[in-house]
A and B are shown apart, each in its own frame.
Chain A
């Protein structure tokens, strides 16, 4: 615990975390403004405040609050007074949020809490529009709290489902699957419809969903399971995004995963065969996709294969294993990591998932 409080690590990626959450909060602010504009301000119609009624803002004050929230998000995005601006924006959001429980959405509450915690991290040292990047280490404890906040959501959600007989028995999902039957019938055929109608399938899906959330809550903290958890989490949230309308929930959680990325930069390397045009083109493309700065990128003339990757431990990989290492550390290619891992399972015996 003491080491968590005093630990200092590279802070560059926390700037990216700030940018991501500033954008998400700005999007939320725009949505809230559209909900209140021009004559739908919640205070003038039926609403249910969590605060005492006397604390509920009038329309003008609420508009001013939203304006402050937007201003804070933009300043944080640009990197101008980034941390106080982000803190102000999140506090404005939380205040407005507590004025009407009818507008309560888990995804919005989670975004506001995470944004507040991000503002406590040293996230103002990189990704700045004005002023230079300050490389170096900084305290890590607030980033840990962002991770803890993600875990709280997974735990609360999974335990709620686990203790609900309808949920763990598959009844809730069976009703939900029924909504997808017309789509399945049209695009996937009768076999898919039968599957969606089967109680055993709904129960299996329920158990899988609860297990996934519990696994994410615990496994993200363990170095040996972290990358597998991140992959599972990406798939889990992509699945939710495709199958349900959850506003910014998936984006919020996926951006939050940045705190589980190893903070140190460019500890791996990729070397591309510079004699082929494919090597030159893919090298440039992968360098652009590497916005987490995981790799040192090299173009080499004397190389037998298109790609050679060197992992953090210094182990050299070629062939499919090199592509696996590329997918592992490149966000947009990350979904390919597990399939490539399974394809190259025999080659990577003896190494760890760390």
Chain B
């Protein structure tokens, strides 16, 4: 029992430090919102440009030149990250969802090795923390 409660209390202490407060029993910790705008970074005329992905879908050629379909939602089904362009509640707090979003961007980049044109996936995030409009946050995941 000492081990049980020791592990649980250690989990709570760890949960206070993690952005998403996992294991921390932090109920209703924020009333924050976020709006995710997704882009892919590609090279055009020797310049890197951002192409908006309002519905999270795009087409890109593979190494053989064959056009293939890609979608944010093929990998990311988790709410609120699966909702693009709409203001949604950031459950367990804004920092937690930005932490999850960065991980989702990294995950997506790892799973589109055939896409030969996407250099990075970028998320521009409008934030409202506890009712107060906050900074616009930009997160990105580069091709490895």
> Chain A residues in contact with chain B, CB under 8 A?
40, 45-46, 48, 50, 101-102, 104, 106, 109-110, 113, 116-117, 145, 148, 152-153, 156-157, 160-161, 164, 166-167, 171-176, 178, 244, 246, 249
Contact = CB atoms under 8 A, between A and B. Distances in A.
Interface in B72-89: 74-78
A161 B92 CA distance: 13
26 contacts: A45-B76, A46-B78, A46-B107, A48-B100, A48-B103, A101-B22, A102-B100, A104-B23, A109-B23, A116-B4, A117-B4, A145-B5, A156-B24, A157-B25, A160-B21, A160-B24, A161-B29, A164-B29, A166-B129, A171-B31, A172-B29, A172-B31, A172-B130, A173-B31, A174-B31, A175-B131
Nearest to A244: B28
Contacts of B26: 106, 156-157, 160
B3 interface: no
B131 A174 contact: yes
Contacts of B24: 156, 160
A173 B28 CA distance: 9
In this complex, which of B4, B5, B25 has the most chain A Cβ atoms within 10 angstroms of its Cβ? B25
B116 to A, nearest CB: 22
Given A153-B25, A178-B131, A46 B8 contact: no
A291 B28 CA distance: 33
In this complex, which of A110, A172, A246 has the most chain B Cβ atoms within 10 angstroms of its Cβ? A172
A46 B77 contact: yes
B34 interface: no
B5 A148 contact: yes
Interface of B: 1, 4-5, 8-9, 12, 16, 20-32, 74-78, 92, 100, 103-104, 107-108, 129-132
Nearest to A100: B78
A105 B103 CA distance: 19
B31 A152 contact: no
Classify the secondary structure of B's interface with A.
loop
A39 B112 CA distance: 20
Contacts of A173: 31
Contacts of A110: 25
A46 B1 contact: no
Contact of B104 (A46, A50, A109, A157): A46
Contacts of A113: 8
In this complex, which of A110, A153, A157 has the most chain B Cβ atoms within 10 angstroms of its Cβ? A157
Contacts of A157: 25-27
A106 to B, nearest CB: 5
Contact of A176 (B20, B27, B28): B28
A153 B26 CA distance: 9
A80 to B, nearest CB: 26
B26 to A, nearest CB: 5
In this complex, which of B4, B29, B31, B107 has the most chain A Cβ atoms within 10 angstroms of its Cβ? B31
Contacts of A45: 74-77
Contact of A160 (B5, B22, B29, B108): B29
B130 A175 contact: yes
Given A110-B25, A113-B8, A171 B130 contact: yes
The 10 closest A-B pairs by CB, nearest first: A175-B31, A175-B131, A156-B25, A46-B107, A171-B130, A160-B26, A176-B31, A46-B75, A104-B22, A166-B130
Given A46-B77, A48-B100, A171-B130, 17 more contacts: A45-B74, A46-B78, A48-B103, A50-B22, A104-B22, A109-B23, A116-B4, A152-B8, A156-B26, A157-B27, A160-B24, A164-B29, A166-B30, A166-B130, A171-B31, A172-B28, A172-B30
